[in-house]
C-alpha cells in the first residue's frame, strides 16, 4: 500500500465528528438553522450515497451552479468522501462561458440552486448526458431535488475508495490569458496543507466563529477558513448574498471572532451608519484579502479599537500564504507579513533571478499546498509551474530588510510611463484617503509620448462632489509627476467579481 494512501484523506466531516460530534459546525443564517459536526457528517454520507447511486465514481466531476447556501457544503464534503471532484461554476459567468466549462470538464452530475432557475434554464439544453438535481426542496416533477434524494439514504458511514493526497478534490476556475477561464486542479494535498498552514500560522482556535463571506465557487469560500475550521472544530456561518446590515448583525449576535472579506466589503461596512455602534468586542481580527486593502479603510477599524490587516493568496497556491502579527499591523500596515509555516517563497526578475532586498519582483511560491496544474491546459501549466515546483503568482512584491513582504500589484497591472515603472496600488492608496472618494481603481492606458499613462476610475461617496482639477491638486506633491494619472472617469460604481474584487480587466 502506498504510504500516502491514508483513510482520513477527504473525510473532513467523519473525522471531526468522531472528535467533537456535538460541537456546532455550521450556522445557516439563511434558513435560521444550526448543525453539529455529527449532523454534517450524516448529511455528507447521505449525499455521498446519492452520488454513488447515480453512478458517480472516483475522479468524476460534480458540477455545482449555486450561490452560497447550506447544501453546497453537503456536496463539497460528500465529494471528498468518495473521491469525486467538485467543480463549482461561477454564477456570474455568461451562458457561453459556462458552456465552455461544461464541455471542458464533462461533469457526471450537475446540482443547481433553485433561486437561479432562470439563468440555469439557458444551460439545461446543454446537459444531455448529465443527471440534473435541484438543491433544496422539490420545485417541479421534471427533476429530482436533493432533499428528497437524501431522505432515502442511510446516514451511516459510506464505503470509501482508496485516496492519496495527490488525487484531485476540486477544479476551481480562474482567469486565463486568452480570456477563457482556466480550471485549477486543487488536490487533497493542497486542501490539507493549506488548512495546516492556516491553523498553525494564524493561531486559529476551536472556539473561533467566522461568517463565510467569500463565494463557495471560489477557493476563498472553501479554503480560506471553511475547511480549516472543520479541521479544527470551529464554527462557520453561511451568510448568503452579501448585505452590510446582515453581516454587522451576525458579527454582534453570533459573537464572531474572525471576519475575512475583500476591501470592498470592509469599505461598505465602514460606511454604514451602524458601523459606529455595532458591538465588535468578540472580534479578534478583521482580515482583508483578494486585493490590496487601502490603509484609509484599515484606519476606520483601528479607530474602533480593532485590527484590520491584509492577507494574501491565490487559487493556484494556498490560498493562505502569509501571516502578519497583530503587533506589527500599525507599524507595517501595507505588509502581508511573513510566509506561513510550510511555504517557501522568493522574489525574482523576468529572468527568474532573485532580486535584492528592497527591490520589486515577481513572487514565486513553493510547498505542499501548490495546485496540480490547469485542467487539460498543459502549456498554461508549464508556464506557471517551474520544473522544480516553484509557482509563478504573477504578483509583484517587495521584501524589506526586516523580512516583511509587501504586495505592490499585479505584474500585468503595472505599467511603464516614460521608462518608469508605475504601480497602481500606490496611487489607489492615496485616492482612498481623500474624504470624498468611496472607491478608486487605476490602470495604464496608451500615450503617444510616454508610452503609457495612468487613468483613474473614481466612485464618490453619496452627496460628495469632486472635480479632476481638485484631484490633481490633492495628488500634487504626494506622488512623482509621472505617477499622477492623466485621465479621470467618474462612475456610479465599478465592475466587481462575485467576491467583491474590482475587475480591472473590464475597466
> Residue 178 has what pLDDT?
46
Other CB atoms within 10 A of residue 445 CB: 13
Give CA–CA dist 107/105, Å, rounded: 6
Domains and CATH numbers, the chain: 12-22+35-164 (3.40.50.980), 193-410 (3.40.50.12780), 415-490 (3.30.300.30)
Question: Nearest Cα to 265, choosing from 281, 284, 251, 255?
Answer: 251
Q: How many other CB atoms are found less than 10 A from the CB of residue 197?
A: 24
Q: Say if residue 319 is preceded by a cis peptide, omega within 30 of 0.
A: yes
pTM for the whole structure: 0.87
Q: Which of 72, 174, 59, 151 is nearest to 114 (CA)?
A: 72
Q: What is the maximum span of the chain, computed from C-alpha positions, in angstroms?
A: 71
pLDDT of residue 179: 57
d(CA 236, CA 223): 12
Nine cell digits for residue 75: 456536496
Of 507, 503, 497, 505, the C-alpha closest to 217 is 497
Q: What angle do CA 392, 398, 404 make, to 5 degrees?
A: 110
Give pLDDT, residue 175. 65
C-alpha cell at 496: 466587481
Contact residues for 191 (Cβ-Cβ < 8 A; gap 6+): 169, 170, 222, 223, 227
- C-alpha separations of 323 from 5, 198, 320, 400, 406 in Å: 31, 9, 8, 15, 12
- pLDDT at position 177 is 44
Tens-digit pLDDT profile for the chain (507 aa)? 455 789 999 999 999 999 999 999 999 999 999 999 999 999 999 999 999 999 999 999 999 999 999 999 999 999 999 999 999 998 888 888 888 899 999 999 999 999 999 999 999 999 988 999 999 987 767 789 999 999 999 999 999 999 999 999 999 998 654 457 899 999 999 999 999 999 999 999 999 999 999 999 999 999 999 999 999 999 999 998 889 999 999 999 999 999 999 888 999 999 999 999 999 999 999 999 987 888 999 999 999 999 999 999 999 999 999 999 999 999 999 999 999 999 999 999 999 999 999 999 999 999 999 999 999 999 999 999 999 999 999 999 999 999 999 998 877 787 878 777 788 888 998 999 999 999 999 999 988 778 789 999 999 999 999 999 999 999 998 888 889 999 999 999 999 877 778 888 888
CA distances from 382 to 31, 73, 170, 179, 430 (A): 45, 32, 20, 18, 38
C-alpha cell of 213?
463571506
Q: Is 441 helix (H, G, I), strand (E, B) or coil?
A: strand
Q: What are phi and psi of 104, to 5 degrees?
A: -75, -40
pLDDT confidence of residue 128 = 86
For residues 487 and 249, the answer to whether their CB atoms sit within 8 Å is no
Which phi and psi angles does 328 have, rounded to 5°? -105, 0
Amino acid at each position: 500500500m502506498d504510504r500516502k494512501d491514508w483513510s482520513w484523506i477527504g473525510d473532513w466531516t467523519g473525522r471531526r465528528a468522531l472528535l467533537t460530534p456535538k460541537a456546532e459546525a455550521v450556522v445557516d443564517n439563511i434558513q435560521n438553522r444550526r448543525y453539529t459536526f455529527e449532523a454534517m457528517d450524516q448529511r455528507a454520507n447521505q449525499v455521498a450515497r446519492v452520488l454513488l447511486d447515480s453512478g458517480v465514481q472516483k475522479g468524476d466531476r460534480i458540477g455545482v451552479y449555486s450561490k452560497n447556501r447550506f447544501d453546497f457544503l453537503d456536496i463539497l464534503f460528500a465529494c471528498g468522501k468518495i473521491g469525486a471532484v467538485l467543480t463549482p461554476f461561477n454564477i456570474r459567468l455568461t451562458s457561453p462561458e459556462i458552456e465552455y466549462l461544461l464541455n471542458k470538464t464533462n461533469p457526471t452530475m450537475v446540482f443547481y440552486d433553485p433561486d437561479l432557475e432562470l439563468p440555469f434554464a439557458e444551460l439545461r439544453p446543454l446537459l444531455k448526458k448529465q443527471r440534473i438535481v435541484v438543491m433544496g426542496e422539490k420545485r417541479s416533477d421534471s427533476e429530482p431535488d436533493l432533499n428528497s434524494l437524501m431522505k432515502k439514504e442511510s446516514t451511516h458511514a459510506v464505503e470509501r475508495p482508496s485516496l492519496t493526497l495527490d488525487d484531485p478534490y476540486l477544479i476551481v476556475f480562474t482567469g486565463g490569458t486568452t480570456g477563457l477561464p482556466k480550471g485549477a486542479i486543487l488536490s487533497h494535498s493542497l486542501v490539507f496543507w493549506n488548512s495546516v498552514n492556516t491553523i498553525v500560522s494564524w493561531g486559529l482556535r476551536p472556539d473561533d466563529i467566522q461568517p463565510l463571506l467569500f463565494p463557495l465557487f471560489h477557493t476563498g469560500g472553501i479554503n480560506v477558513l471553511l475547511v480549516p475550521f472543520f479541521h479544527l472544530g470551529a464554527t462557520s456561518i453561511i451568510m448568503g448574498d452579501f448585505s452590510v446590515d446582515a453581516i454587522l448583525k451576525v458579527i454582534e449576535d453570533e459573537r464572531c471572532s474572525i471576519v475575512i472579506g475583500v476591501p470592498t466589503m470592509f469599505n461598505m461596512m465602514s460606511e454604514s451608519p451602524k458601523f459606529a455602534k455595532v458591538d465588535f468586542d468578540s472580534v479578534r481580527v478583521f482580515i482583508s484579502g483578494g486585493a490590496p486593502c487601502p490603509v484609509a479603510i484599515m484606519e476606520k477599524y483601528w479607530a474602533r479599537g480593532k485590527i484590520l490587516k491584509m492577507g494574501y493568496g491565490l487559487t493556484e497556491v494556498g490560498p493562505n500564504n502569509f501571516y502578519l502579527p497583530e503587533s506589527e499591523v500599525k507599524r507595517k500596515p501595507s505588509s502581508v507579513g511573513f510566509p506561513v509555516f510550510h511555504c517557501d517563497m522568493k522574489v525574482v526578475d523576468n529572468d527568474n533571478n532573485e532580486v535584492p532586498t528592497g527591490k520589486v519582483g515577481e513572487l514565486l511560491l513553493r510547498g505542499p499546498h501548490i495546485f496540480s496544474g490547469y485542467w487539460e491546459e498543459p502549456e498554461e501549466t508549464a508556464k506557471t509551474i517551474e520544473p522544480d515546483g516553484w509557482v509563478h503568482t504573477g504578483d509583484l512584491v517587495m521584501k524589506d530588510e526586516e523580512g516583511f513582504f509587501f504586495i505592490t500589484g499585479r505584474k500585468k497591472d503595472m505599467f511603464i510611463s516614460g521608462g518608469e515603472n508605475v504601480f497602481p496600488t500606490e496611487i489607489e492608496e492615496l485616492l482612498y484617503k481623500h474624504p470624498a472618494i468611496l472607491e478608486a481603481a487605476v490602470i495604464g492606458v496608451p500615450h503617444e509620448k510616454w508610452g503609457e499613462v495612468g487613468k483613474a476610475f473614481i466612485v464618490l461617496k453619496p452627496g460628495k462632489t469632486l472635480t479632476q482639477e481638485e484631484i490633481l491638486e490633492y495628488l500634487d506633491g504626494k506622488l512623482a509627476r509621472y505617477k499622477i494619472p492623466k485621465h479621470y472617469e467618474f462612475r456610479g460604481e465599478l465592475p466587481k467579481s462575485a467576491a467583491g474584487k474590482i475587475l480591472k480587466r473590464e475597466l
